Every structure is written in C-alpha cells, then in structure tokens.
Structure 1
Amino acid sequence: MPNRQDRVYGAIQGFITTLNDPFTAFVVPEQADIHRQFMSGKFGGIGASVSIDANGEPYITRLLRGNPAEKAGLEPLDVIRGVDGQSVQGLTLDEVVDLIKGDVGTEVVLTIYRPSQDTTFDQPIMRAVIEELTAYSGMIGDIGYLRLSSFNAVSASQTERELQTLLDQDPRAIVFDLRGNGGGLLDEAVKIADMFLDEGLVLTERSRSGDEERYVSDSGDLGERVPVVILIDGNSASASEVVAGALQDRDRAVLIGQKSYGKGSVQLVHDLPGGEQLRVTIAAWYTPDDRRIHGTGLEPDMVVEGDQFDAQGNDLYLNAAIDYINATYPRDPHIFGG
C-alpha cells in the first residue's frame, strides 16, 4: 500500500489532471531538484565532456580548460572504467554522468584506461562548480554557425561570448541552430533576441485576466547587423519560439526547417516547503506581430521536407541554410577571389 506521502502526491497530481493543462504540474522533490540545477546552468562536476564509444564504454571527448579534470591530468580519449570503485560497464551515458557529478568540494575517483599508454589507473578528482555548456560555435567557410541547446541562467552570457567570437571572424551570415531546444527561462530568451534586434518589441505576455506585459529590445547590441538564418524543428519550443518568432516578425531572420512545437504558455513556479514545485500556467505570449504560438507553432519561411539527415549523414537543414545564404548574400569576389 502506498505510504501517506505518496497518497498525498497522488491526490494532488490527480486534481491537477482535471485542469486539462499539460503544462500545469506538481513536481516531486527529486525531479524539482534536477530542474533547479538545470535552470541554474551550474553543477558540481569535473569539467569534462563524455560520450560512449563503439564498444559501449564511456570516454572523455573534451576537457574544459582550467577545470578539475584537466588539472588532474586527464586526456581526451581516456576511457572511464569505473567511478568510486563501481564498474560502469553496461551503464547508459546519463547514468555515468550522474555518478561523476556530485556536491562541490567532494572527491570522486575515476578508474581510467588510457589507450595511448595501455595503462589503467585510479585518478582522484575534487569536484568544482561547472558551468553547463549550452552555446557553442564554429565557422563553416565564411559562414558562422551558432548552436544553442537550452535557455538556462548562463545561456545569454555564453551566447554573447560565442557570437562575439564569430563576429570577430567577419562572417557573411550566421546560422543560429535552435533545433531540439525545448526552451527554458524567458528572461534569457529576451536577452538573446535583443542581441540581434534594435529597439522594438520582442513579445507580449497576456494573462488570463487580460493584463499585458511587453518585453522589448534596445539598440546597440553586437549582432544587429549580421544576416541571420534560424534552424527550427518540431522540438524547438517555448523560449526557442520566443527568439525565432521575434526575429522572424522583425525581419531579422529567415526560419528554415519544420514547424516548431507550439508551446507559448507561461508557467509561474512555486517552490514548496518540502522541496516540491507547483507550476501553474498563468499567461500566453504573442510575437511582435501579435501571433499566438501556443498550439500552432511557428511556420518556417523555407520548409525542409523529410528527415534532417540523409543516408550519408549530411545535415539537410544546415545545407539548406548554407544554400540560402550563398544565394542571398554572395561572397565578395574582391575578398574571396570568386
């Protein structure tokens, strides 16, 4: 028989389902803690990116400069065989990462196999505050590529840093990839949209009582002049749609891909004494052209039919964006010798 707490939680969740709003929710403490950490953009860890190799073993793909893993002497391609004496064989990537994370200032011992030396050793590492990497960038020829995976408390600062890195290389245009980005903090979305917009409206928030709040951008930000193409798909939602919708309505970006998710409601989060959270839908947001996105999504200016990748692994969305940029913003032959 469920204990008293489980019965109480069940009763609350049962009541909430009667509201017929999938975004109003009661969240138990364990899940609420994960959400809080995710939104903070910071966690206790070692500062290493990890993936799974062809043999199913976790290995280090990248070290964050100046963080504990690098200071401890770990190297890319090091294979993680154990965490605190526990074998990680057969564990999923998320399970391995959860074992490595922990409270700041505590020690974790990794059992490392280093293929370059064919050696296995235990390496103690002190966990520190690690900033979640949500934004990264690169150049594709003379076109900038900016990817944002979520909107948490560090996303705007990371986006600004990566955008400045791209602009320092004088790109013809920037592809801003919001595919699979399910959203996050509204304030971060407004800050990021403002990087590309001059003075004007970003979105309007309307409550059920009819009250309105307008979020605006100002002039003088670093990305206001560079041409922008935004990639979206069916998993681009919420804060992603705020940014994409604002730039589309303000004629600052062309959207390429498939229709976005259509999550345009606003939730007020109540932190409860027991660590639980109650998230209640209080409003809906509208684009600068007063389009309601909730339940409808954003229609791209250029639709890419079918899968995102072909049989050879080519990114069809990205290729479509590059083709559009080449047709619309051709290279200067005096610079590129065309």
Structure 2
Amino acid sequence: MLRGPIDTKVTVKIQRGQETLTLTITRKIIRVDSVTASLLPGKIALLEISTFQENTGEQVRKALADLTPKGEALRGVVLDLRDNSGGLLTQAVEVVDALVAEGELVIVRSALGREAEDAAAEVNLPPDAAVVALINEDSASAAEIVSGGVKALGRGVVVGRPSFGKGTVQLLKPQNLYGRELALKMTIAEYQVAGDTKIQTVGVRPDLSIYPVELSDITAVANYFDTERFERRRESTQVAHLPSAKHEAAFAGKAAGDGPRLRYFAGRQGTRCRAPPRARRRWPIRRCRSPATWPTRWLAFGQQAARRQARRADRRDRRPRGSEDRRRHRRHQDRLGRRARGRQRPHPRAARASSTTRRSPPASRSPCASRSPTAAASLPSAST
C-alpha cells in the first residue's frame, strides 16, 4: 500500500497511545548499503556483507580501493559473511571475481546441462594478500558461493561453523486459479563451487571451527556450547524428515566432520558473575589475580568438568552387561564389603567394656538345665 511511483505522496495515520498522528510521506527509492568497510591495524580490510543485492559487487570493489593506503597494498581481507542469508547469485560471483584471477567461480547444473563461469584476469587485491571468510550456520546461498569459492580455489581460509547448506535455485511461477492468486515454487537448478563441490545440505565446512563459551549468572557454571545446538539450524537437519532426504544422506555427515576446533570466550550471560573466593586454591591457574584473567580460569574449570564427565562415561561403559558379568561384579562387591567390614575398628569404650565385663551364659527354659548331673540323678522318677 505504501509503494508507488517515485515523488508521489501518501498519507498515513499512526496511533501512538491515545494520540493519532497524520503523516504525509513522499515516495523515494530506498538504498541500503550491503557492505560496511573498515581498516584494521596492520593494513587489514574488514568487509561486513549483510546481503547480496544489485550493487554489492561494485561496493566491494570500491571498498577495497578506498581502504588501500596510498603507495602501499593491503596485507589481507576479512569477509564477514555471518548471518548472511544470501541474495543475488550474480553479485556473489562478482565478489569472488574481485579476489581471484583464474578458475571456475560457480557451476550451475540444470536440465540444460553443466554451465560454468570463469574468473577474469583483473583483480582488486594483490595475489600475496591473505583472505579469510567468516561464516556460521546462518550463512546461506550466495554467502556460501563466496566462502566456498574462496576455499575451493585456494585463495584463502574459512573460519567459523558449517554453513546452512542451501545450494539450489528456485523459480516462482504465479498462477490465478478460480479467482485466487497462487504461486508455484519450483527448483530448477543446483549450483556448486569450483571442483564441482556440492553445497546443498552439506554447506561449507570451515578450515577452523570455533564454538563459544559463555559465563552464566550462576557461580562456577559456564555454557559450554556443543555442535548439536548449531546443527539443528542447518538445512540437513530441517529436511531430514522429508522422503527426498535419503538422497542426501551420503553427504550430510561431511560438513560436521572432525577438524581443528577452537573455543572462544563470548562474554557473560545474564547478570555479572564474580569469581568464587576460594577459586585460587582449587583451580590449576594460580597466578590469575586480576578480573581480566577470570575468563581463562573459567575455561580451565570447563575443561576440568569435561574431563570428569569423560571419566564418568568411561566408568559407565565398564559396568557389567550380561548375567555372568553381573554375578562376577556382585561377588567382587561382596568381597570389597567384607574387606571394609574387617578393617572397621570397634569404639574404644565398647572395647574396654567387653574386656572387663563377662557375660553369663543365657538361661535355658528347661528346669534341669541349671542343675548338676548328680542333683538331677537324685530326683525321684515319676511313676507312670
């Protein structure tokens, strides 16, 4: 309703509490910059790309040119693609083309066959400059084309967590059936990066995986995030219930394979935590005195908790399984119990009382039991 021709006016009413406001707005073209550029120490350019729109490739080239010092060259570029849900495929190809001088930028497989687009020789970055792409589980589509191309072509490294895994092209076909406006969304192609590397449901696997550690508002408790928390948000988990997921099962496990991992301190959650007063005596890092070094001590505490959990799991795995193992385990526990009871010492007062006082034998119910044999023989016998 608010959209319309440029330079035309539209009147809207806004209710704010008990007050009603009438505003007149002039329609214009809204341009949002998708690239935020900054220069880090050491002549490192940081490019934060939020989405891929019509002029993203042009903005990246302009940012690299503006951040380059006069008479010098950039030493490296960091592409922040975290939480980038994608956008135009052509702009993602243009961003990769600005970084590499040769190779296939993207490969599209459809009913027409295999189509590939090669890189141009002109680049906006020196060949010896390092390139690092930051991704996470919310990086999808065009963001995976850029990060996957940087890794597949050997131009740089990828740091973060496995990406979402969206590598298909959809076509929206509107229809008007029986007076109802409907649309049919069809998957018409699949795109891949250099070397025919698959992206759909697999995502881009980083060279270095990083996972956060947060301090909670409970003393001596830290949030040690696991990989399952992030895997639930990826494409492979969200489509696992579909019948077509069986075709992707062979590729689903490659994105979360074993590789280099790093834990980083992500701050405090909730209220501010204070270190326990006796922590210095209990934790292995004994020279940490200032509050600035508390995160290191918290990480050491988390490592100790992880080792304790591993030891518990090891003991749990050693428990007897079959009936014979249970009997052997029960006999072993009985032997340990007898040894423990044999080592118990009586109380000193009970020991003294038992050594000085002798108990008389218990009295029998028979009247002849307390008499001597001679006395018992002299008793007259009862006549029958």
Query: TM-score normalized by structure 2?
Result: 0.47
Residue 303, structure 1, aligned to residue 193, structure 2: no
Q: Is 2:78 the partner of 1:175?
A: yes
Q: Does 1:212 align with 2:127?
A: no
Q: 8 Å contact 1:197–1:224 — kept in the other structure?
A: no
Q: More deviation in 301-310 or 291-300?
A: 301-310
Which residue is equivalent to 1:289? 195
- After superposition, the CA RMSD in angstroms is 3.3
Aligned pair 1:136/2:72, yes or no? no
Change (3 A) 1:231 1:271: same
Q: Is the 8 A contact 2:160 2:210 kept in 1?
A: yes
Query: In structure 1, what is the Cα distance between the partners aligned to 2:94 and 2:50?
Result: 16
Cα separation, partners in 2 of 1:85 and 1:202, compared to 1, 3 Å: same
Residue equivalent to 1:157: 58
1:270 is displaced (CA, Å) by 3.2
Q: Deviations 1:109-130 (Å, cap 9, x if unpaired)?
A: 4xxxxxxxxxxxxxx7644222
State the Cα distance separating 1:276 from its structure 2 match. 5.8
Please name the residue that 1:71 is paired with.
none
1:195 lines up with 2:151 in the alignment:
no
Q: Is 2:52–2:88's contact at 8 Å kept on the other side of the alignment?
A: yes
Deviations 1:49-98 (A, max 9, x none): xxxxxxxxxxxxxxxxxxxxxxxxxxxxxxxxxx9562557xxxxxxxxx
Q: Matched residues, percent identical? A: 29
The residue number in structure 2 matching 1:185 is 88
Aligned 8 A contact 1:44 1:130 in 2 = no
**Which whole-Å deviations, capped at 9, do the CAs of 1:120-169 have from their partners, x for residues lacking one?**
xxxx7644222122111111223211011111212222222222222346
Higher relative contact order (CA 8 A, sep 6+): 1
Unaligned runs of 5+ in 1: 1-29, 38-42, 46-82, 90-98, 100-107, 110-123, 314-338
Q: 1:88/1:158 Cα in 2 relative to 1: closer, same or farther (>3 Å)?
A: farther
Paired residue type of 1:241: E
**Distance in 2 between residues matched to 1:196 and 1:135, nearest whole Å:** 16
- Residues 1:294 and 1:153: Cα distance change in structure 2 (over 3 Å): same
Task: Report the CA distance shift for 1:309/1:148 in structure 2 as closer, same or farther (over 3 A).
Answer: farther
- Considering only CA atoms, is the larger Rg found in Structure 1 or Structure 2? 2
Q: State the TM-score, normalized to the length of structure 1.
A: 0.53
The unaligned stretches of length 5 or more in structure 2 are 214-263, 270-384
Relative distance call for 1:44 and 1:134 in structure 2 (3 A) is: farther
Structure showing the higher strand proportion among its residues: 1
- Deviation of 1:44 after TM superposition, in Å, equals 7.4
User: 2:61 and 2:16 mapped to 1: Cα distance?
Assistant: 37
**What residue number does 2:167 align with?**
264
Q: Report the number of matched residues.
A: 205
Q: Please say if residues 237 and 261 of structure 1, whose CA atoms lie closer than 8 Å, have aligned partners that are also in contact.
A: yes
CA offsets, 1:225-253, max 9 Å, x none? Answer: 33211000001111111111111111111
- Provide the secondary structure at the position in 1 that maps to 2:37: strand
Shift of 1:213: 0.8
Give the 5 Å matches for 1:1-338: 86-87=14-15, 109=23, 126-141=26-41, 142-168=43-69, 170-207=73-110, 209=111, 211-223=113-125, 225=127, 226-270=129-173, 277-306=183-212, 310-311=266-267
Q: Which structure dedicates a bigger proportion of its chain to helix? A: 2
Deviation at 1:174, TM superposition (A): 1.1
The residue type equivalent to 2:187 in the other structure is T
